[in-house]
Chains A and B, each alone.
Chain A
Amino acid sequence: MATFRLLDIAHGRSGDKGNHANIAIIANTPGDYAWLQRHLTADVVERYFAPLKPSRVERYEVPNLHALNFVLYDVLAGGASRSLRSDTQGKALALALLQMECQRD
C-alpha cells in the first residue's frame, strides 16, 4: 500500500463563522474526488481534529467542484472575538488536514 498525503491529491481553504470553522477540500481529478468521497468521512475528520474538541463535524458534498466541505462546530476556542489562540480564525486548519497521511487501497 502506497502512503501519500492529502495535499498530493487535493487543495483547499479554511475559514471561520463565529466559533465554527469550515474546511473545503478540493480534489485535483474526478478519480481523486471519488477516493475522497469514500475515505474522507466526517468521522475521519472529527478523529483527526480530536485535540481541538469539535462538538460535531458535518460533511457536505460539492460534486460540481470535486470538493468536500467540512464544518467543524465549536472548534475555535471562542472564535475571532475571544479565542486566546494565535490562529483564532482557523486559517491553518485546511493545511493541517491536507497534511494527513493516507494509504491508497
Chain B
Amino acid sequence: MKRIRIGNGCGFWGDNLDAPVRLAETGQLDYLTLEYLAELTMSILALQKAKNPDAGFATDFLDVLQRLVPILRQQPGLLIVTNAGGMNPHACARQAQHILAHAGLHRRIAVVTGDDLLPQLDELFATGHTLNHLDNGTPLAALRDRVVSANAYLGAQPIVQALQQGAHIVITGRVADASLTVGPAVHEFGWGFGAADLDRLAAGTVAGHLIECGAQATGGLWIHANDATQLENIGYPIAEIAADGTFTISKPPHSGGVVNVETIAEQLLYEVADPRHYYTPDVVADFTTVRLEQVQPDVVAVRGGTANGITNTYKVSVAYRDGYMSAGTLVIAGPNAVWKARRSGEIILAKLRQAGCTFAESYVEILGAGACVPGVITATSDPPEVVLRVAVRDERKAAVERFTKEFAPLVTSGFAGTTGYTTGRPPVREVFAYWPALIAKAAVQPIVEIL
C-alpha cells in the first residue's frame, strides 16, 4: 500500500528555526508542513499590512526557506505546505520566489487566499452573516469599528487544488492546522471530500492534529520528560500515512525527544473540547475511536479515527481592538519576600491612583508563591526570593504608559531586597480580543493561484 511521509517542522510563529532543516535532512519526507498562525497572530499581521502593503505574513518562513535551500537542491521532490502567508500570502510568495530564484531553484509556488473576510465584512452583515459570538450569540456589528481582522479557517480543498496544479510550495492564509496534512493525503491517495471518504478524512485530520504543534508530539511538554529525553535535540514529528488512512507517528533517527503512547495520547487531546466532535472544515472527527499502539521504539501506530459528519460552516476568528496592556516585574529577596512583594504591588497601584490613574483591570501576582494557578497551588514554604509581577489593562494608552514608570522608583523607595530592575520600563502593547464565530461555507470563496 502506498504511504507518504509528512513532517511538521514548525508548531507556531516563534518555533525553532533549525527544526525544519533537521527534520527535512533526515526525515525522508514527501511533504514538509510549517504552521505559523495562532489564534491572534492574524491581528498583528493585519496591522503590519496596514502600515506596509508588502508585510503581514510570517517572516520566519523566509528565514527557514533560506536555510532549506541546500536540502531543496538535494531533494527536488520535497513539497512544502505552509500557512505562513498570514494576512498577505501573495507578498510572502513573492519573497519566497525571490529567495529560490536567487539560489537557482525553480519551484512552482501556489497561493491560497479567500480566508480574509475583512474587505467584505459590511456586505456579509448586510446579507445576514452576522458572525455572532460562538459562546454567547452576540452579533459582531456593534464592534465593527474596532475589528482589525476576520478570517475563515479554510479546509484542505484549495491545498489539494494547488497540488493538483503541480505546486511545489503551497502558501496559504488562514486554514485549519490539520488541513495542512489532510491536503497532501487527499492529493496523493485520490480521496474525495464526499460521504465515501469521510472516515479517511477523519484519520488524516487525526494525523494533522497530532503533528500540528510540532515537538509537542515528540516529548515536548511530556510530563515524564527527564535528562534521558534529550530535549535539546528534540526531533519533530512525522506522520507516515497509508492510503487507507492508517498511519504512524515517528521522528527522525538519532534525534532527541520520545514518541510513545503517552506523548501521542496527551497531544491527541490537546486543545480539544468534546473528543467525539473535533470540528474542522473538512470533517467532524471522532477521537474516541482512535487506537494507539507502540510498534517500535519512537514509532506509534494510529488506527481508527472516524467521521461524525461534516458541517456546512467555517469557523471564523475575529480580532478587535480592546485597549492597551502592560506587565512589569521586580525581584524581591530576603525574609518575608512574599509579603513584601505583595505590598510592593499595592504600592505601585496606590502611587498610580495618587497620580489619577485607575485601570479597567489590574492584577498583582507573586511568581514563586503560587501565581500560575492562583488559589489552587500555593507556596508551602517561605521562598528566599520571588518575582513581583503587576499587569494592567485600560482603554487609555496614557494611563498604561504612566504605569510602566512606577517600577523603577521602588528600587530606592521600596522594601529592602528590591532588585532585578535591569530590563527597563516594560513595553505597552495593544490588546486584540478574540471573537470566534461561524459562517456558511457558501459565503466564502477559497482562491488558488499559481505564481
With a CB–CB cut-off of 8 A, which chain A residues contact B115?
none
With a CB–CB cut-off of 8 A, which chain A residues contact B393?
82, 84
Contact count A vs B, C-beta below 8 Å: 134
| Interface-located stretch among B19-27, B106-114, B373-381 | B373-381
Q: Which residues of chain B (278-328) have a CB below 8 Å from chain A?
A: 287-292, 304, 319, 322, 325, 327
Evaluate contact between B135 and A92: CB separation under 8 angstroms.
no
Looking at the assembled complex, report how far the CB atom of B107 sits from the nearest CB atom of chain A, in whole angstroms. Answer: 35
Q: Which of A49, A50, A82, A94 has the most CB of B within 10 A?
A: A82
Evaluate contact between A87 and B40: CB separation under 8 angstroms.
no
Number of interface residues of B (CB under 8 A): 52
Q: Give the residue of B39, B266, B376 whose beta carbon is less than 8 angstroms from that of A13.
A: B266
With a CB–CB cut-off of 8 A, which chain A residues contact B392?
84
Evaluate contact between A7 and B271: CB separation under 8 angstroms.
no
Evaluate contact between B272 and A52: CB separation under 8 angstroms.
no
Q: Give the residue of B39, B270, B275, B436 whose beta carbon is less than 8 angstroms from that of A60.
A: B275
Q: Which residues of chain B (363-385) have a CB below 8 Å from chain A?
A: 363, 365, 367, 371-377
Evaluate contact between B436 and A18: CB separation under 8 angstroms.
yes
Is A69 positioned at the interface, with any CB of B under 8 Å from its CB? Answer: yes
Bound together, the chains give a CA A82 to CA B322 distance in angstroms of 8
With a CB–CB cut-off of 8 A, which chain B residues contact A95?
223
Evaluate contact between B40 and A81: CB separation under 8 angstroms.
yes
Evaluate contact between B290 and A65: CB separation under 8 angstroms.
yes
Select from chain B the residue with minimum beta-carbon distance to A98: B223
Is B276 positioned at the interface, with any CB of A under 8 Å from its CB? Answer: yes
Evaluate contact between B266 and A86: CB separation under 8 angstroms.
no
Bound together, the chains give a CA A65 to CA B262 distance in angstroms of 9
Bound together, the chains give a CA A51 to CA B371 distance in angstroms of 12
Bound together, the chains give a CA A99 to CA B411 distance in angstroms of 36
Q: Give the residue of B39, B262, B363 whose beta carbon is less than 8 angstroms from that of A81.
A: B39
Select from chain B the residue with minimum beta-carbon distance to A13: B266
Evaluate contact between A13 and B391: CB separation under 8 angstroms.
no
Evaluate contact between A24 and B325: CB separation under 8 angstroms.
no
Q: A52-B376, A77-B363 are in contact. List 11 more A-B contacts (CB 8 A).
A: A22-B269, A49-B373, A60-B274, A61-B288, A63-B288, A64-B288, A65-B268, A80-B40, A81-B433, A86-B389, A98-B223
User: Which residue numbers of B lie inside 8 Å of A, CB to CB?
Assistant: 38-40, 135, 221, 223-224, 262, 265-276, 287-292, 304, 319, 322, 325, 327, 361-363, 365, 367, 371-377, 389, 391-393, 431-434, 436
User: Which residue numbers of A lie inside 8 Å of B, CB to CB?
Assistant: 7, 11-13, 15-20, 22, 24, 26, 48-52, 58, 60-65, 67, 69, 71, 77-82, 84-87, 91-96, 98-99
Cβ-closest 10 pairs across A and B: A51-B375, A24-B269, A84-B391, A84-B363, A15-B271, A92-B372, A13-B266, A96-B373, A87-B372, A11-B223
